[in-house]
């Protein structure tokens, strides 16, 4: 992929940020109709029955909602990425040697309301069906990350963080994902960013910071730990999805939708749509039934009943389509 294309993708695929009012061109986005959604998914008739069931749109796969004036698609012109386009782009895929994900803690992340990194790593292993390793923690100083003072808090530039991380990608890791509770921004014109990932350099970073209501001076409710956990899981999977070459989804309401603010992020599902499920399975070649079963177990164990039920419904459809062994 040409360098200019890589740079453009990295800029467009950053996670949520608050921007100025929508330009006139962006307000024209309207959700694709059913025919366009199915065209983005591609023909399924040549796939095995279990894969057909795994990728066929079901009752949980709703179309992407029309964006509000401050939502991502009212601020960014994105053409979408069909499954066919994804395949032709020939993104890197995990191989026999690079077949694990490595998580790098940046600074202290413990105590308080923050989720345990072992729990986050367990989710990532189930979501991507790859082993996840927790690396020894590092610091912004060690990464030579630069930043800016915002008065009440300090922000770090994701470009300098990723530059420092590129030197640390393990030889046997598909990608290295940094995790921090420091606030982030991707460039001088941006207010903030929740996370940022590179398609081709196998690195990404994301922050828990703005997932805590206390960051905004708001009261923490009784369910704050589960709220922060769910937000963190969603962003981790979203950013790691980008490292597999999956662009923002404009077809269904999906984990890979772009998000411009916390309300939009909270409304997004913690699940991939049929188009993005097909892209991820093409990259990793996992068994869809095993993945949905493991994710359902994870969600049930952590009180995320609605997310567990969605996995169980898809699992039931896959199992019903799978021929019985002789």
| Active-site annotation, residues | 239
CA angle, 287 then 294 then 280, to 5°: 45
Question: Which candidate, 209, 200, 265, places its Cα nearest to that of 237?
Answer: 265
Would you call 96 helix, strand, or coil by DSSP?
A: coil
Phi/psi for 216 (5° steps) reads: -95, 5
Question: Which candidate, 157, 2, 11, places its Cα nearest to that of 76?
Answer: 11
Beta strand 101-106 with 175-180: parallel, antiparallel or unpaired? parallel
DSSP 48-94: -HHHHHHHS--TT-PBPPPPPTTSGGGT-------HHHHHHHT----
Phi/psi for 299 (5° steps) reads: -65, -40
């Amino acid at each position: 992929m040409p360098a200019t294309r890589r740079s453009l993708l990295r800029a467009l695929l950053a996670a949520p940020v608050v921007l100025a009012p929508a330009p006139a061109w962006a307000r024209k986005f309207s959700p694709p109709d059913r025919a366009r959604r199915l065209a983005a998914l591609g023909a399924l008739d040549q796939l095995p029955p279990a894969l057909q069931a795994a990728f066929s749109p079901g009752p949980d796969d709703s179309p992407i909602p029309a964006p509000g004036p401050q939502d991502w698609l009212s601020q960014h012109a994105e053409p979408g990425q069909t499954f066919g386009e994804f395949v032709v782009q020939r993104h890197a895929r995990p191989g026999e040697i690079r077949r694990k994900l490595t998580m790098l803690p940046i600074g202290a992340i413990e105590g308080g309301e923050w989720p345990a990194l072992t729990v986050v790593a367990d989710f990532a292993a189930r979501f991507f069906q790859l082993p996840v390793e927790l690396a020894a923690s590092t610091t912004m100083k060690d990464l030579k990350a630069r930043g800016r003072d915002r008065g009440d808090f300090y922000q770090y530039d994701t470009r300098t963080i990723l530059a420092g991380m590129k030197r640390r990608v393990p030889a046997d890791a598909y990608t290295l994902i940094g995790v921090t509770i420091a606030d982030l921004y991707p460039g001088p014109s941006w207010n903030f960013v929740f996370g940022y990932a590179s398609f081709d350099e196998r690195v990404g970073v994301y922050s828990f910071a703005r997932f805590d209501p206390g960051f905004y001076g708001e009261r923490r409710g009784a369910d704050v730990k589960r709220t922060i956990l769910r937000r963190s899981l969603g962003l981790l999977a979203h950013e790691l999805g980008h490292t597999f070459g999956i662009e923002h989804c404009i077809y269904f309401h999906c984990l890979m939708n772009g998000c411009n603010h916390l309300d939009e992020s909270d409304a997004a599902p913690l699940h991939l749509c049929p188009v993005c499920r097909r892209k991820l399975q093409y990259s990793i070649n996992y068994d869809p039934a095993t993945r949905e079963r493991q994710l359902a177990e994870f969600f049930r164990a952590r009180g995320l009943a609605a997310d567990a039920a969605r996995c169980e419904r898809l699992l039931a459809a896959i199992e019903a389509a799978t021929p019985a062994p002789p």
